[in-house]
Amino acid sequence: MDSHVIDLRSDTVTRPTAGMVAAMMAARVGDDVYGDDPTVNQLQAVVAERAGKEAALFMPSGTQSNLAALMAHCERGDEYIVGQLGHTYKFEGGGAAVLGSIVPQPIEHDPDGSLPLAKVAAAIKPHGPGLGVHFARTRLLCLENTFNGKVLPAGYVREAAGFAHGKGLSVHLDGARVCNAAVAQGITLAEACAPFDSVSICCSKGLGAPVGSVLAGSREFIVRAHRWRKVLGGGMRQAGFLAAPGPGPCQRRAAGQGPGRHPGTHRRRASHQHGVREVPGAPLPAPGTALEGARDPGPDRTVGAAGHPPGRERGGHGRVRRGGEGLLQGEVMPPPRQPDLT
């Protein structure tokens, strides 16, 4: 039965809960290009507060949020340091270079997802008259947490950000799933975001909302990003319908009282892992992963969602097959009366 087959590709192949849909239907809206949408304004205020930043900006996607951040930090001909497998480098169509005229300087990750500081140091170019005229100006370090489902060690994050700041760089976090990192480490979202000048948080990943990301940082940074959002086509009119599912989950998951007390996703993941272990020959999740952990199970294996009554798992319906780079891919098989997600 479809409802006993789960889709392990990603936490993005979810569907909004009934509560989210109700919140969208009931949303108070206005024209967000004029800053008039009360629901968007509420989401921005909540996320800014929970992330410990001065201001925040609702964005249509994580990709655009990261790109607006890079463009707000860097000018044409500047350079940012990023991991070889960093989402902003490898999985966002080269937007920083294509649309921002920003030069990526990718470096190898350590196995835990961190970027070794010796390599970061070696990648920073001299700038100014003389030798410096040869190089793009290194302006930014970009980290990702969680990275491929792994939580970056908090000590490393603090050290890396301190190091970059000491070299005059700004530091951006692709924190698509930073709420999961905070829950996994038992710290608040503000603590997880504190080392960074800017953070992009996806509402549509571990938080389960159908659309949207929020970029947070200083007021002045958000003013710059706001302009780039418009340039990139991300200024939306009655966007409150899209923002409405965000504040609830963000508040619950990221609230000071939250991490550790609302670990629903993590509890379900543990239950999922338990279920997968029951399947003969099924892969074990990668050690140390916070959320995404399932490894390639081999060709055309269907993994059953053991332990989940039909209809309980939100979105997870698919036939698992071998995917690129050890990730799982699947064919989405929508349950009855649900639109196809592909």
Q: Is 81 helix (H, G, I), strand (E, B) or coil?
A: strand
Is residue 190 a contact partner of residue 157, using CB atoms and an 8 Å limit? no
Binding span for ligand PLP by CB under 6 A among 31-39, 60-68, 115-123, 233-241: 60-68
237: which 2 tokens?
Answer: 């009119």
What's the min distance (Å) between Cβ of 211 and ligand PLP? 8
Q: Which residues lie closer than 8 Å to 317 by C-beta, 6 or more apart?
A: 2, 3, 5, 6, 7, 332, 333, 334, 335
Q: Which of 51, 115, 142, 176 binds ligand PLP (CB under 6 A)?
A: 176
Q: Is 247 helix (H, G, I), strand (E, B) or coil?
A: helix
Q: Which of 14, 39, 44, 63 binds ligand PLP (CB under 6 A)?
A: 63
292 contributes a contact to ligand PLP by CB under 6 A: no
161 contributes a contact to ligand PLP by CB under 6 A: no
204 contributes a contact to ligand PLP by CB under 6 A: yes
Residue 75: CB atoms within 10 A of its CB come to: 12
* Residue of closest CB approach to ligand PLP: 62
Residue with Cβ nearer ligand PLP (124 or 228): 228
Q: Which of 3, 17, 41, 61 binds ligand PLP (CB under 6 A)?
A: 61
What's the min distance (Å) between Cβ of 175 and ligand PLP? 8
What's the min distance (Å) between Cβ of 65 and ligand PLP? 8
Write b or e for each residue in 242-254: b if 16 or more Cβ atoms lie within 10 A of its Cβ, otherwise e: bbbbbbbbbbebb
C-alpha pair distances (Å), 173 with each of 83, 170, 218, 240: 12, 10, 14, 25
What's the min distance (Å) between Cβ of 132 and ligand PLP? 32
Using CB under 6 A, which residues numbered 135 to 154 contact ligand PLP?
144
* Window 210-249: contact mask with ligand PLP (x via CB under 6 A): ---x------------------------------------
Is residue 249 a contact partner of residue 209, using CB atoms and an 8 Å limit? yes
Residue 219: CB atoms within 10 A of its CB come to: 10
What's the min distance (Å) between Cβ of 213 and ligand PLP? 6
Q: Which residues lie closer than 8 Å to 153 by C-beta, 6 or more apart?
A: 112, 114
First to last CA, the chain: 20
95 contributes a contact to ligand PLP by CB under 6 A: no
Is residue 145 a contact partner of residue 151, using CB atoms and an 8 Å limit? yes
> Do the bridges between strand 137-144 and strand 78-83 make them parallel or antiparallel, or are there none, so unpaired?
parallel
Binding span for ligand PLP by CB under 6 A among 58-66, 70-78, 224-232, 252-260: 58-66
- Where on the chain is the footprint of ligand PLP (CB under 6 A)? 12, 61-63, 66, 87, 144, 174, 176, 202, 204, 213
